[in-house]
Structure 1
Amino acid sequence: MVDDGMKQDEVLEVIADADSTFSDDLFGIVIKDDVLYKKQVLVQKALDDIGMTPFHWKLFFLNSFGYASDSLLVVCQSIAQPQVNLEFGRENDRIPGVSTASAVGLLVGAIFWGVGADIIGRRLAFNSSLFLAAVFVIIAGAMPSYISFTAMVALYSAATGGNYCLDASNLLEFLPRKKAFLTTILAVAWGFGYTITGLLAWAFMSNYSCLSADNCPRSSNQGWRYLHYTSGGLVLIAAILRVTIIHMPHTPKFLITQNRDEEAVKFLTDIARKYNRTTTITVEQLSSYGAIQDVKEGNKVRRFTKHVRGIFVSRKSTYSYILLLMLWLLIGLGDPLYSYFRPYYLKTRGYQDNTTASNYIVWRNYAISNICGLVGPLLAWPLLDFKYLRRKGTLAVSALATMLFLFGYTQVRTPTQNTALSFCINAVETMFFAALYGVTPELLPTGSRATGYGIAVALNRVCNIFASIIAGYANVETTAPLFISASMFGALAVVSLLLPFEPAGKYIA
């Protein structure tokens, strides 16, 4: 049910209570537009009053498809690359062309979908990104040449490359404050995408792959194509479910930033009626504060710069965002350094992955290792609101754990040690990723949330590209990259603790 609304003094009491209870509230300090802050407090209060409904759980489920599709397709091209190289005679390329094309596509996607979601809203991007990705993935599996395949990889990576910033921002802006941790739990779907791809690789790559470039016709190397067809079909199913299970509205917080108060109130009151919940928000309350200034000024370039300026509205917010970018930069270098140099490191220790009957064993272990990725977000979950850790502490603990396991990995001598430590690294590293994916939208204001997230992810993709280049030209016989990777995770722990804001329990405007 919907109440008739609060009196003006009751509204002020809500805002005063928010200011006093959450004295370190991000957006009470950061946002210069006092009108926007007060309106967002009222919207968040309405979301808190309504609580979790079946609509929210369906939204959580559907947003998770974006995370799963992103990881599924990133791993898809990574798995396919060695066999694509063999089939098209590119095994001696210094720069891994397929992974570089993927990183470039992911970079473009992060910028396009991130900025677009703030300008046009979350709905269109939510409904279209997976459809585009599915089409390009299926086409990629049929490509007759190396260049055409890498082009399709770049396109499907661009289509899915903004899902982190889009899905987390979208979900967060519908959630009650106490359920903000669900943006971190979304990362379970990221691990699920890895797991699906690992199992598909186990089925296809171990049975339908050639063994050398000397005898690798298309007819005996269909595994990577089957992998793309199947993955594209799964993403297409996810895209169809997104538009059939739920009619995606704009988030009420986004509507407020666009001075569309009536639409925001209508959504909140409609969902309250539908699920027999109570909300006190009215259009009159929001209108009494006036309009948000500088909403749709000028052309798209000016609107983009407006969203960027919204991130840097104070020294404290600027400092916070710079540290947030540092987290994305360090993980963008640290993770690929481990991934790219790990096989060479194993060779220097006398352990080869391609031992007798390894095709089956390698893909089996790969699938099991990816299953460990499901553990990370679940490890992060209880720590996010734990009094002595919360968001910043969870980031630091997971980064330190990854650093310790990476240093331990430098002592690998046997296949068993390799498998065990690989599983542990995967679990704690995805724990860090999950916490980072969840905290990033919380540290950004609504009007610039997707833009700020998109820039952070874009920086991460640039680092991935540099890592590919480093992998092509560095001395792969040295063990230094693994030590550097471990040290970067140590730096991630320090930067996490330096973040000036702790969003746990705060009003997220």
Structure 2
Amino acid sequence: MHSISEGPNREDKGSTHLEEPEIDVKRATFEEAVEETGFGKFNLVLLLVLFFPCLSQVLETVNISYVLPIAQCDLGISLEDKGFIISVSFIGMVVSGFFWGVLSDSFGRKKVLVYGYFLNAFFAMIGAFATSKTMIIIAKFFGGLIISGPFSAAIAHTTEFHSKKYRSKVQFIRGMSISFSNLLLPLFAWAILPYQWDFSILEYNFHSWNVFLMVCATVPLLGGICYMFLPESPKYLMSQGKNTEAMEVFQKVYAVNTGKGKSTFTYKELIKETNVSQDTSFEQRSPLETIKNGIEQLKLILHKPYTSRMILACAASLLVTSSNNTFKLWLPQIFQSINDYQSNHNGTSTDLCTMLEDLQTPEEVVEEKIICSVNTNNMSVYTNSMIVATTRMVCCLICTYLIEWLGSKKLAITLPLLTAVFSAGLYFSRTPIEVLALSSLGSSIGSVADLVIMNITVEMFPTTLRTVAIALQLMTGRLGTLAGNITFPYLLNTGCAPPFAFVTILPFCCAILSFLFPNTENKPLL
């Protein structure tokens, strides 16, 4: 017995070497590691930088709506041209959507962000130097082709630095950044476009709208520069089997957030996510494998019960987006038309249909010559646009709480129906105040309706199919926006009733279709 009890104390070096316990190394999953980094200075910087992608997205798709009323004489733009120029960015987005997803999954979020925003700034600057509508069209097409990739990568990049506790808040901040960007854009326009600048640099003639587009081009440039100094997403690094690099990122974030040394980070190694996760997004894939995986997910959506759900989600999104985005992108021009009418009629106003006649290229006869002229005394255009953007932010906040009370399905029925009512009311409005009130409420509620439908789509599909389902829904919405903006000017030329019937009937049909949605859990909108 004595020899057995003293066994461990024997000075047998060989035996001691064999029985020496292994060093206890704490290994963590992604969720454990990102939770350990906490929330601090690094996360705040990340959320501040996210504002650049949000503002860049808004500038790329909406800024041309403020430029066209001012640049129409310089570039010889007709009413039909305006519809195509407004929509050409969305053509680029539809063409490039799947392509950017493959690049982001294969080469990383950071590369897509940096190179993507630099390229977007380049084409935005080409638009600023435009001397013809053809140059504007080319610049906006390539801008749209590029912008959706880095924007999606920015959302993924920011989310992947936050634990589950903060991810819903990240989406809320993203939504508020988009809303604030819509408020900031008319402020930019107000500060620059009313000035009648006319000067030359290197044989290029510049006007206020050229300067405005130059200022817009600096936003994606600043965004690309900011992301150069931020680390790659640790989740992406782990998906590529680069656990050592991912650990270094976690330690740096932890040190910035807590003020402690990197060596005090609780975990020393990371578990290979491919061994512990059933989510295929974690698997290391080549570009070809990413494409194959996307095709496999598309095949699953084409089988019951997902096919009918996908058709329903895309149809509802098509209806509400076609109406809302078309009206939203034409609002600055509608406000400009009202402003022009009042300017030409000593401040008086009449019914909206009569005032919309000034949407055509403004011409006047001077010494028996037809002269194209633009009214730059249009402060009301920008103040009205800011009121609409503010209303949209308020509606978004209110509906974020309403969804907890009423549920997604009831809102998906009610909000498009209200949008249709306010849109129809515009046809009968007789004062600028009525137009502003109805357009603010109709546009804002329509935007929130689109978010609600997106929220329902997320709940209708399992995790492994959500990315493809949302991508298909976004593509359908962009196609609707494209078709709506090309159609709208032709409807205006046929009379006043057709364009308002267009923006009224579509959301009404969406409300009817929303009765078919299943009852889903009440989740945050943003």
Give me the TM-score of the superposition, normalised by structure 2.
0.71
Please, which runs of 5 or more residues in structure 2 have no aligned partner? 1-23, 199-203, 259-263, 339-349, 360-374
Per the alignment, residue 194 of structure 1 pairs with 182
2: CA distance, partners of 1:173 / 1:159 = 22
1: CA distance, partners of 2:420 / 2:38 = 38
Alignment of 1:372-411 (within 5 A): 372-383=391-402, 386=404, 388-389=406-407, 398-411=415-428
Alignment of 1:3-82 (within 5 A): 5=26, 43-44=30-31, 47=34, 51-82=38-69
Relative contact order: is structure 1 or structure 2 higher (C-alpha 8 Å, sep ≥ 6)?
A: 1
Please, which runs of 5 or more residues in structure 1 have no aligned partner? 7-38, 211-217
Q: Is the 8 A contact 2:52 2:219 kept in 1?
A: no
Alignment of 1:101-250 (within 5 A): 101-179=88-166, 180-208=168-196, 222-244=207-229, 246-247=230-231, 249-250=232-233
Q: Quick one: which amino acid aligns to residue 304 of structure 1?
A: I
SS for the counterpart of 1:143 is coil
2: CA distance, partners of 1:53 / 1:225 = 40
Per the alignment, residue 346 of structure 2 pairs with none
Q: Quick one: which amino acid aligns to residue 375 of structure 1?
A: V
1:99 shift after superposition = 1.7
1:230 shift after superposition = 1.3
2: CA distance, partners of 1:394 / 1:176 = 29
1:366 to 362, 379, 385: 385
Q: Quick one: which amino acid aligns to residue 464 of structure 1?
A: T
SS for the counterpart of 1:310 is helix
SS for the counterpart of 1:162 is helix
- Does the C-alpha gap of structure 1 residues 483 and 4 become closer, same or farther in structure 2, counting only changes over 3 Å? farther
Q: Quick one: which amino acid aligns to residue 507 of structure 2?
A: F
Alignment of 1:416-455 (within 5 A): 416-433=433-450, 453-455=470-472
Offset from partner CA, 1:202-244 (integer Å, 9 cap, x none) = 233323289xxxxxxx96x712111101111233223322323
1:417 shift after superposition = 0.6
SS for the counterpart of 2:429 is coil
Q: Is the 8 A contact 1:399 1:429 kept in 2?
A: yes
1:333 shift after superposition = 1.1
1:69 shift after superposition = 0.9
1:489 shift after superposition = 2.9
Q: Is the 8 A contact 2:34 2:250 kept in 1?
A: yes
SS for the counterpart of 2:430 is coil
Per the alignment, residue 498 of structure 1 pairs with 517
Q: Is the 8 A contact 2:316 2:510 kept in 1?
A: yes
Alignment of 1:83-94 (within 5 A): 83-91=70-78, 93=80
Q: Is the 8 A contact 1:72 1:197 kept in 2?
A: yes
1: CA distance, partners of 2:159 / 2:413 = 22
Give me the TM-score of the superposition, normalised by structure 1.
0.73
- Does the C-alpha gap of structure 1 residues 129 and 436 become closer, same or farther in structure 2, counting only changes over 3 Å? farther
1:367 shift after superposition = 3.6
- Does the C-alpha gap of structure 1 residues 413 and 282 become closer, same or farther in structure 2, counting only changes over 3 Å? same
2: CA distance, partners of 1:320 / 1:57 = 38
Q: Quick one: which amino acid aligns to residue 517 of structure 2?
A: L
SS for the counterpart of 2:50 is helix
Per the alignment, residue 469 of structure 1 pairs with 486
Offset from partner CA, 1:248-286 (integer Å, 9 cap, x none) = x2251x455555566556655664565459877964585
2: CA distance, partners of 1:278 / 1:324 = 44
Per the alignment, residue 33 of structure 1 pairs with none
Percent identity between the two aligned chains: 18
RMSD between superposed Cα atoms in Å: 4.3
1: CA distance, partners of 2:247 / 2:194 = 55
Q: Is the 8 A contact 1:255 1:263 kept in 2?
A: yes
2: CA distance, partners of 1:258 / 1:292 = 14
Q: Quick one: which amino acid aligns to residue 54 of structure 2?
A: Y
- Does the C-alpha gap of structure 1 residues 480 and 281 become closer, same or farther in structure 2, counting only changes over 3 Å? farther
Q: Is 1:456 equivalent to 2:473 in the alignment?
A: yes
- Does the C-alpha gap of structure 1 residues 354 and 442 become closer, same or farther in structure 2, counting only changes over 3 Å? same
2: CA distance, partners of 1:229 / 1:192 = 20
Per the alignment, residue 19 of structure 2 pairs with none
Q: Which has the larger radius of gyration?
A: 2
- Does the C-alpha gap of structure 1 residues 52 and 144 become closer, same or farther in structure 2, counting only changes over 3 Å? same
Q: Quick one: which amino acid aligns to residue 490 of structure 2?
A: Y
2: CA distance, partners of 1:260 / 1:449 = 26
- Does the C-alpha gap of structure 1 residues 388 and 255 become closer, same or farther in structure 2, counting only changes over 3 Å? farther
Offset from partner CA, 1:11-35 (integer Å, 9 cap, x none) = xxxxxxxxxxxxxxxxxxxxxxxxx
Q: Is the 8 A contact 1:106 1:160 kept in 2?
A: yes
- Does the C-alpha gap of structure 1 residues 410 and 43 become closer, same or farther in structure 2, counting only changes over 3 Å? farther
1:303 to 286, 290, 299: 290
Q: Is 1:326 equivalent to 2:338 in the alignment?
A: no
Q: Is the 8 A contact 2:193 2:376 kept in 1?
A: no
- Does the C-alpha gap of structure 1 residues 198 and 289 become closer, same or farther in structure 2, counting only changes over 3 Å? closer
SS for the counterpart of 2:391 is helix
- Does the C-alpha gap of structure 1 residues 236 and 329 become closer, same or farther in structure 2, counting only changes over 3 Å? same
2: CA distance, partners of 1:401 / 1:287 = 47
Q: Is the 8 A contact 1:198 1:370 kept in 2?
A: no
Offset from partner CA, 1:55-112 (integer Å, 9 cap, x none) = 3333222223212111122222222223433213232646734223222223234343
1: CA distance, partners of 2:469 / 2:106 = 13
Q: Quick one: which amino acid aligns to residue 210 of structure 2?
A: R
Q: Is the 8 A contact 1:65 1:238 kept in 2?
A: yes
Kindly tell me the number of residue pairs found equivalent between the two proteins. Answer: 455
